[in-house]
Structure 1
Amino acid sequence: MLNQDQLSQYQAQCNVLYHAIYFEPSDVMPDRLRAVDVVHSWPQTGAADARAAGLALLGEALAEDNDTLLPRLKRDFTELFIGPVELKVIPWGSPYLHEKRLLCGPSTQALVQFYQHYGILVTTQLNEPVDHIGLMLSVLSSLLEQEVDKQDGAALEVLRVLLAEHLLPWSPRFCDKLANAAQTPYYRGLALLITSVLEGLKQDLGVQPLSLQLFQ
């Protein structure tokens, strides 16, 4: 069982990764990561190999000044997640789980019902499906924060179901595609850090993900 410090470490990681992967790049995140010397201060929870490799790539990216780094990050972010041509990496879960690669497929509706059942509110930047991996990381962060505050196990049980049924069935494929498609060490590093956190939570909480067919 994870102790309070470990839960807090996972919460902090999920929160940083949510902001880094969901929002369009600006100078805010690189500056914050440099300010805390992220390569050396990143928590030690999670899968060690993926964490070490991800932090090395992140450190490589952050060694550039923002004038050089940000144009590359914005171009990479656009090509990966926005288009206008076919996205290199789809950040929503449904196209991985639906044979026609539809947004807002049955898996999205199941996630909406799951959130409604547990009173989980998700604020999107745009009118978009709630199964964006960044938004799901934000929910993980909130649940971990609740567990740290209340220490009653209730939020962890919700988190286990979220991981097993709604995120882990497809997130490894997303991370693999991101690591292979990204043109910057920044986004390749984020792919590995997301892998580290999710694999760590899976192992540390004893989560058994559903085995579902993937279409991406």
Structure 2
Amino acid sequence: MNENYADAFAAVWTTLASVLRTEAPTEETIAALRDPDLLAQWPLTDPELGEVGAGALAGVKELGSSEESWQEIADDQFRLIRGPGEPIAVPWESVYRSLEGLLFEEQTMQVREFYKRFNLQAPRLNVEPDDHISLELDFCVQLLARGLEAAADGQPEVARRHFDAHDEFCREHLLQWAPTFFQRLSAGATTAFYRGIGLLGQDALQRLRTLVEPDAR
């Protein structure tokens, strides 16, 4: 991943993580994501980064058409990724990838070890699983931000190490389950807001796959 893509994906991961946490997004966050001027600058609709995908355009359109109240969006978020009962789009990697489909399985520990390589850990260690979608996206942001900072400081080897670690983490973890998560999110959403988030997530991961998995091109 080069610096231009690193900057774009850092912004994308930050945005997606902000509305996929265990608490509902704030009214300010929702308003920002529906702002026409900001939507027009969605990083992966920049033609300088390559061909713009239909998913990105559809996701931006859904967010732009979202007129739901904060309560409607909060209720949809609760139903989609928190419950009641089993969420429609379960937000933990190990549920998708472990044999028993349980929390705190082998994948969770693998993610924890990856965080530790960069002196990071989940904020609610041993309470909330480390492989929550928002935590994995936050970790990706950290790697890209550190890489971009190193590049700006004239440390290309440090920058490359962080960019490569981001790509490795995505190949081994995020790309193994998050496409299904975002598909379920958009398919199960009752609001245009979360349909848009699901579509933007799917598009970002599809674009990412072509960057970090040569055979996917």
User: Could you tell me the TM-score, scaled by structure 1's length?
Assistant: 0.85
1:159 counterpart residue number: 166
Give the letter for the 2:55 counterpart.
A
Q: Does the residue aligned with 1:37 lie in a helix, a strand or coil? A: helix
Q: CA deviation digits over 1:140-169, x for unaligned, max 9? A: 111111111113301011111111111111
Give the letter for the 2:192 counterpart.
P
**Shift in Å at residue 125 of structure 1?**
10
1:11 counterpart residue number: 10
2:29 counterpart residue number: 29
Equivalenced residue count is: 203
Going from structure 1 to structure 2, the CA distance change for 1:98 and 1:208 (only over 3 Å counts) comes to: farther
1:60 counterpart residue number: 65
Distance 2:142 2:36 in 1: 22
Distance 2:150 2:213 in 1: 21
Q: CA deviation digits over 1:109-145, x for unaligned, max 9? A: 1111222233233335993111111111111111111
The RMSD of aligned alpha carbons is 2.3
2:76 counterpart residue number: 76
Give the letter for the 2:64 counterpart.
G
Distance 1:163 1:207 in 2: 13
Give the letter for the 1:51 counterpart.
A
Distance 1:8 1:125 in 2: 28
Query: Is residue 147–residue 156 contact of structure 1 (8 Å, CA) maintained in 2?
Result: yes
Distance 1:205 1:86 in 2: 32
Identity score, percent = 27
Q: CA deviation digits over 1:76-106, x for unaligned, max 9? A: 1111122232211100111101222101111
Going from structure 1 to structure 2, the CA distance change for 1:48 and 1:69 (only over 3 Å counts) comes to: same
Distance 1:161 1:83 in 2: 31
Query: Is residue 15–residue 141 contact of structure 1 (8 Å, CA) maintained in 2?
Result: yes
1:145 counterpart residue number: 145
Matched, 1:192 2:199: yes
Larger CA deviation: 153-162 vs 120-129:
120-129
Which is bigger in relative contact order (C-alpha 8 A, separation at least 6)? Answer: 1
Matched, 1:127 2:132: no
**Shift in Å at residue 208 of structure 1?**
6.8
Q: Does the residue aligned with 2:176 lie in a helix, a strand or coil? A: coil
**Shift in Å at residue 34 of structure 1?**
4.2
1:177 counterpart residue number: 184
Distance 1:207 1:165 in 2: 14
Going from structure 1 to structure 2, the CA distance change for 1:130 and 1:84 (only over 3 Å counts) comes to: same
Give the letter for the 1:178 counterpart.
L
Going from structure 1 to structure 2, the CA distance change for 1:94 and 1:207 (only over 3 Å counts) comes to: farther
**Shift in Å at residue 173 of structure 1?**
1.0
Give the letter for the 1:203 counterpart.
T
Which 4+ runs in 1 deviate beyond 3 A?
A: 205-209
Distance 1:40 1:134 in 2: 24
Give the letter for the 1:58 counterpart.
L
List gaps (5 residues or longer) in structure 1.
Answer: 210-216
List gaps (5 residues or longer) in structure 2.
Answer: none
